[in-house]
Structure 1
Amino acid sequence: MAFSLPGYRPAPGDTLNQQTFTVFRDVLRVLLDAGATTVAEAAFQGPAWHRLLEEIGSAPNARIIECHVDPETAHARRSERDASNEVRQASHSAPNPVFTVADWRGITLDLPTLRVDTTDGYEPGLDEIIDFCKAEQA
């Protein structure tokens, strides 16, 4: 979508960020309404996920998998991705020089949640993640 706006420069709350959120929400709603098993992946902070889930309505078997790494690893990965991928640069507002735990606001919804450390692979591993996704809700 960034290529549709020549000279686009990301900024908090800009038109493209708002439009991207709307498209993400609408596509997710279509998939859920069709009964499709869906993985919705985005690096939204908690408040954006709360808004998204409010707007699409209930998803009775929803699960949250929250991936995390230490701030230094997050910063290094983001810098590498931004430097190597022009499209990725458009998806983020002003770059943060350092990620801090205090800056991140996680998802605080009353849904089954699994925290996964992605510093070096996945901890817990993929088998446990799959089991978590397939588990019946109480």
Structure 2
Amino acid sequence: MRPRPTLLAVSGPPGVGKTTLAHALADALGWPAVCRDEIKERLVTETAPTDPTDPAADMNVKTLGVFFQTLADLLESGTSLVAEAAFQDRLWRPGLEPLTDRARIRVVRCVTDPGLARERIARRAAEPARAVHGDAEFLRRIAGGERPIESWVPIALDVPCLTVDTTRGWDPPLDRIVEFAAGATIGHGGGDDGRSAASPTAAPQ
């Protein structure tokens, strides 16, 4: 019986550097990276305009379906992978939980100062490819007094979880995160959260 592949879920609220870390981990591990925002950008480019009042036309719903189907197909073939998305508990656990039977799931939880995250979102909002992601609307919510970064709720699964501070590079460093992905238990100043099912907390304020 072949060993189960690994699904390394790189998670966190907007602006914490998930995609950059996910691709660095994929390169270091030799695994494919499946990134939610990149799938959405491709779908918007490839999909013909549809009736916006049709629920089936919701691009976020389509993206979610393609994202999890891609994960399932790769895992079914025995391929370990890096999956990057917000993985906020309420929206993402229903799709990730069924994959626990076919993969060893490990979660990397990216955190940074909310002010820095807002600066990153504002910088990337000007990029043409980001138009489909609603960064401008996200910034308007923040300007209106909402705190969507601080209120992000991490996914709650009984799987190993490692918190990575992305404020200045990565802490712990990339080689330690790679060790965690490969199955090592990382003890790094409280960075190893043990199990993802621990009481969810927002990014540090």
* TM bucket, shorter chain: 0.7 to 0.9
Compared with structure 1, are the counterparts of its residues 28 and 96 closer, same or farther at alpha carbon in structure 2 (3 Å cutoff)? same
Which residue matches 2:15?
A: none
Contact residue 71 and residue 100 of structure 1 kept, 8 A:
no
Which residue matches 1:90?
A: 132
Alpha-carbon distance, 1:60 to partner: 3.8
Which residue matches 2:13?
A: none
Alpha-carbon distance, 1:136 to partner: 5.7
Compared with structure 1, are the counterparts of its residues 96 and 51 closer, same or farther at alpha carbon in structure 2 (3 Å cutoff)? farther
For 2:76 and 2:180, the matched residues in 1 are separated by 23
Which residue matches 2:61?
A: 18
Compared with structure 1, are the counterparts of its residues 72 and 123 closer, same or farther at alpha carbon in structure 2 (3 Å cutoff)? same
TM-score normalised by length of structure 2: 0.57
2:89 paired with 1:46: yes
Alpha-carbon distance, 1:54 to partner: 2.8
2:165 paired with 1:122: no
Alpha-carbon distance, 1:6 to partner: 5.0
Percent of aligned pairs sharing the same letter: 33
Contact residue 105 and residue 159 of structure 2 kept, 8 A:
yes
2:198 paired with 1:131: no
Provide, for residues 81-121 of structure 1, a one-character-per-residue CA deviation record: whole Å limited to 9, x for no partner: 111x2222212473244345542111221110000000110
1:31 aligned to which of 74, 99, 121: 74
For 2:133 and 2:87, the matched residues in 1 are separated by 11
TM-score normalised by length of structure 1: 0.81
Contact residue 2 and residue 87 of structure 1 kept, 8 A:
no
SS state of the match for residue 164, structure 2?
strand
Count of equivalent residues: 133
Contact residue 113 and residue 167 of structure 2 kept, 8 A:
yes
Alpha-carbon distance, 1:48 to partner: 2.4
Aligned residue type for 2:180: F
Contact residue 47 and residue 107 of structure 1 kept, 8 A:
yes
Alpha-carbon distance, 1:127 to partner: 1.3
Alpha-carbon distance, 1:58 to partner: 2.3
Which residue matches 2:6?
A: none
Compared with structure 1, are the counterparts of its residues 81 and 101 closer, same or farther at alpha carbon in structure 2 (3 Å cutoff)? closer
SS state of the match for residue 101, structure 2?
coil
Contact residue 75 and residue 102 of structure 2 kept, 8 A:
yes
SS state of the match for residue 122, structure 1?
coil
Contact residue 64 and residue 112 of structure 1 kept, 8 A:
yes
Tell me which protein shows more strand as a share of its residues.
Answer: 2
Q: Give the CA RMSD over aligned residues.
A: 2.7
Alpha-carbon distance, 1:55 to partner: 4.4
